[in-house]
Structure 1
Amino acid sequence: MRQRVLLSVGNKELSLIIRNALKEHPDRFLVVEKEIFHQDFILDITEEEQPDILLLHDYYLSSNKETTEEREKSWLSIFSRLRETYDNDIRFVFLCERETQDPFLSELVSRNVLDIFNSNAIDKQQLVDQLLEKPRYSNVSKFVDRKDMKTRNVRLSQEELIEELSDEEDTDTGSIEHVNDKPTKQVSKEAFSVINEDEFNVPIKEKVIIQERLIGAIFIGVAGVESATGSTHLSLLLANFLSKKGLRVAVLEANKSEDFFEIEYAYEGGRGYTSEESKFVIEGITHYKSVKGMNIADIVHLYDFIILDIGSIEKTVFFEEFYRSHISIVTAHGSEWRRKSLLKFLQKHHEKEHQSWKIVVPFADSLTLHDLKKETGLSIYSLPSHPDPYQGQADTDHLLEEMLQGYIPKKKRQVATSSKWIYAGVAVLVISLITSSLFFFR
């Protein structure tokens, strides 16, 4: 029987490696297409996808929690709520970079998290092999203080606990671990420090950068392969779409075009309007003009989504932010004589992890989409004609919903919907009371 696996890693490269490794066992694992990229969405998307295995990463998954203590409390709360809802129906796999003696890992074990990988370099074959077997306490007993081992709230039956402790004693006296009565060689600690094709590495430097720049908001980087491909227009469409869902959204002008000055000027009615402010608000969307010298870390916790309007990627100093964004979108022309610009762009940046990039081509027909998808192997989208980016449009909304699948919190949409019904109910009640009063005093 195949197990549904939901990835909640937060890093495109690691996610792809794990996904491909699990896909090598199609009879055992079904990795769902949707992924979780923010800690706030775990409960909603888990409810929607109903996985058998939920694989998470401690650092790479974005969170609104600023300190380590707050983040750990959030993790423990999430695991507790999932256990209350699904009991032991979901198997948790936790990837992190922590010391074996870290008390937090012991707390995870107490919540029946029996698959913990705490090394910077993880043997992907060992990860897969462990998931092919049933969850075993012996895999995580090293994270629990032996003095506390018998008092930990591990939700195993007494027979399973005895079996696991027995296996642990076996591994203490030799280098052989017994799995299903078949001896297998135990992976030595040194194996985790060696980087080769069978291991994936989480770069510590990149982890720090992502923590500083991306935790708190989901970043969308919008860049064009050349000038005038519509990156600013698409950025505003995305901002309006997300804002209409009740999300806090900011758009940053991460280029030198100064288009935002013109947008503000037009919005204020022209006639010589000037402003020294670095930002302005239209339709609930905060627009930051010319981000030069701006510290993004100062605003990262103020918004649910931050959209970087990078413009032509060849003319910006923000290309690293584009690569590190949770969602990377490339705009390009679809005409045959300009299509080569996209192919040259992808070839030039082939060393980057671009399999998850989304390519948007304004007004492209189905034949163009088919050809580009065949040539690039990437997700290609045709942006329909949409003159006013601050007005909703059904076909555009459908497209953006598809592009952002897995990033939009379901809870916020439900709250908005339920609010409408509440208001409607109150209105009906008020009208009924007024009608009854008029009838009574007639």
Structure 2
Amino acid sequence: MAPDFEQLNKKKIIIAIPNPAFAEALKKHFENENIHVLEVCVVVDHLVERLHLIKEDPSTTLDAVIISSSLAVKQSDKRHEFLADVIDRVREDFSKSSIIFLSDEKQGHPLLAELVSMGIYNIFLKSQKSEPLNIKQLIKCIDHPLPYSEVKKYRNYDQGIPWRRFVNGAQSITINIEGHNKDKAHRRQDKQNVKEGEVSTNTSNEINSSSKEMDEDEEHLVKSNKQTNKTILPDIMEEELEESDFWTLPDLKQKIVVRDRIVGKSVISVVGIEKGVGTTHSSILIANYLASHGYSVKLLELSGNNELVYIEKAYEGKNVDTRLNDEFIIEGVTYVKSADEFEMADHLNSEHTHIVLDMGTYETTEHISEFHRASTQVVVASGSEWKQHNIKRFLSSNHVDLERCIFMVPLVSKQSIADIEKDNEGIHALEIPFHSDPFDSQDDTNEQFDLVFDRGFTKKKKMIKRSILLLATIILMFLLIFFISR
């Protein structure tokens, strides 16, 4: 097959933004401008993994990385210093690639100062009073970075914000990717950009005088470490280093990477407004619907109910030892049983195109952040009149994104769905018919899922069946006429 020269000539970028809805919208903007988006990464582990694959593949080029300042946020910890180290590693490994930084932080934050010190000038602040992001401007920044004069102001930062010293650069990250049975270590090493005993004076006019002076304790620490030939770590608490600044990448040898599938990966999170509404049942319905249309699907049990163990026994037989494997396959769907430790990045980098998250009840799940990151959010609710108030209670949460949120209500009439949508402005609800066996396909259920995933598969199947039936009837009539005329 001849190479697609048009595809080869396209600029190639990666979008690393934890908000899937915003990231996908930005992706469409770039693709409309003939820019090829290699990947959308919503977690920092996924970004590092994808960059490693590109670095190992000489046939793939990378023109730019779009990074959000919230990429490394973990719960209430923003981990900005850690993010700066990741960006420094990207800068080192992809020196010819542009970095475009979308910052949630205001002018005066030391993260921005450190980025400028790295030579990263494509910095856009959400809070700055200027025009909204312009896709053509972002594309222009790939080949022509913003001038230093526009970002020089970011070098002056608020000394009251705790931050390490970065006169000599960020902390380099060494990524060790080893086999499955070996320890995986990720070390940070202090980068020595000046000779020992010397102090650079080139930046005296660019850095605040207060950031150049050491107090007596720091001078004593430097002297003592010189005597013992030890490397000094910057001002980061040891607890923070242990918990936040090291990460484990998935084992590259244990997975198959299919490029076009990873790019098109979709995450569907399923939660119940209350206990007993059928979250697991709905998750299996969705997974089997997608698998029946040719997608590679993985279902993760995050509810903590361990119901997949009983499903495996029902399928494999009561005598099966469910402790032997963490996952099993039924009719093309990979089911991953509940585990004590869970890392979403391990599954984002699998060969599956669609990941369904069975999260149990909204108020009790321990992984609610994954629900909000998912590209499609499914909420299973009860249609009983005396329980519909729970939908209002759910909507009162400040974390509901109605553009990505779909309500599924089992065993109700179309009128009930209309009433629910009328009483709760802005929501989109679907009626899920009686479907006793979620492993069996049902046209009426599939038609509802067609509305969610915008495929129209079921209607197309019906049209094909009707066309075949009509054609068979016409042929039969011609045969009858033929034999009668004889």
Provide TM-score, normalisation by structure 1.
Answer: 0.53
Matched with 2:353 is 304
1:96 aligns with 2:67: yes
User: CA contact under 8 A between 1:57 and 1:96: conserved in structure 2?
Assistant: no
Write the distance in 1 (CA, Å) between the matches of 2:438 and 2:25: 28
Write the distance in 2 (CA, Å) between the matches of 1:10 and 1:372: 37
Cα 1:73–1:268 change in 2 (3 A) is closer
Query: What is the total number of aligned residue pairs between the two structures?
Result: 304
User: CA contact under 8 A between 2:298 and 2:333: conserved in structure 1?
Assistant: yes
Give the counterpart of 1:373 among 397, 417, 421. Answer: 421
Give the counterpart of 2:125 among 96, 106, 121. Answer: 121
Structure of larger gyration radius: 2
Per-residue deviation, residues 256-313 of structure 1 (Å, max 9, x unmatched)? 322222222222354x555323322211222222222354544443322222211112
Matched with 2:222 is none
Give the counterpart of 1:275 among 322, 329, 340. Answer: 322
Write the distance in 2 (CA, Å) between the matches of 1:399 and 1:105: 48
Cα 1:337–1:317 change in 2 (3 A) is same
Cα 1:76–1:379 change in 2 (3 A) is farther
Letter of the aligned partner of 1:305 in structure 2? Answer: H
Task: Give the match's secondary structure for 2:398.
Answer: coil
Write the distance in 1 (CA, Å) between the matches of 2:284 and 2:400: 26
Q: Aligned runs of 1:388-403 on 2, under 5 Å?
A: 388-403=437-452
Give the counterpart of 2:145 among 142, 149, 153. Answer: 142
User: CA contact under 8 A between 1:334 and 1:362: conserved in structure 2?
Assistant: yes
Cα 1:321–1:258 change in 2 (3 A) is same
1:236 aligns with 2:284: yes
Say what the alpha-carbon RMSD is for the aligned residues: 5.1
1:220 aligns with 2:268: yes
Question: Between the two proteins, what is the percent identity of the paired residues?
Answer: 23
Letter of the aligned partner of 2:281 in structure 1? Answer: H
Deviation at 1:69, TM superposition (A): 4.7
User: CA contact under 8 A between 1:121 and 1:193: conserved in structure 2?
Assistant: no
Matched with 1:284 is 332
Deviation at 1:318, TM superposition (A): 2.2
Per-residue deviation, residues 211-249 of structure 1 (Å, max 9, x unmatched)? 979x88533211101111111111111111222233322
1:247 aligns with 2:295: yes
User: CA contact under 8 A between 1:56 and 1:95: conserved in structure 2?
Assistant: no
Task: Give the match's secondary structure for 2:356.
Answer: strand
Write the distance in 1 (CA, Å) between the matches of 2:247 and 2:415: 38
User: CA contact under 8 A between 2:18 and 2:41: conserved in structure 1?
Assistant: no
Letter of the aligned partner of 2:443 in structure 1? Answer: A
Cα 1:209–1:395 change in 2 (3 A) is farther
Write the distance in 1 (CA, Å) between the matches of 2:402 and 2:58: 30
Give the counterpart of 1:264 among 296, 301, 312. Answer: 312
Deviation at 1:350, TM superposition (A): 1.6
Letter of the aligned partner of 1:275 in structure 2? Answer: T
1:340 aligns with 2:323: no
Write the distance in 1 (CA, Å) between the matches of 2:246 and 2:429: 29
Consecutive unaligned residues in structure 2, runs of 5 or more: 1-13, 69-86, 100-119, 158-244, 251-261, 462-486
Cα 1:242–1:356 change in 2 (3 A) is same
Matched with 1:66 is 49
Matched with 2:377 is 328
Write the distance in 2 (CA, Å) between the matches of 1:219 and 1:75: 29
Cα 1:61–1:269 change in 2 (3 A) is closer
Task: Give the match's secondary structure for 1:403.
Answer: helix
Letter of the aligned partner of 2:292 in structure 1? Answer: K
Write the distance in 1 (CA, Å) between the matches of 2:134 and 2:342: 46
Higher RCO structure (Cα 8 Å, ≥6 apart): 1
Per-residue deviation, residues 404-438 of structure 1 (Å, max 9, x unmatched)? 349x9x9xxxxxx9xxxxxxxxxxxxxxxxxxxxx
Matched with 2:6 is none
Provide TM-score, normalisation by structure 2.
Answer: 0.49
User: CA contact under 8 A between 1:10 and 1:57: conserved in structure 2?
Assistant: no
Matched with 1:385 is 434
Cα 1:123–1:223 change in 2 (3 A) is same
Per-residue deviation, residues 176-223 of structure 1 (Å, max 9, x unmatched)? xxxxxxxxxxx66648999xxxxxxxxxxxxx999979x885332111
Task: Give the match's secondary structure for 2:286.
Answer: helix
Matched with 2:78 is none
Matched with 1:28 is none
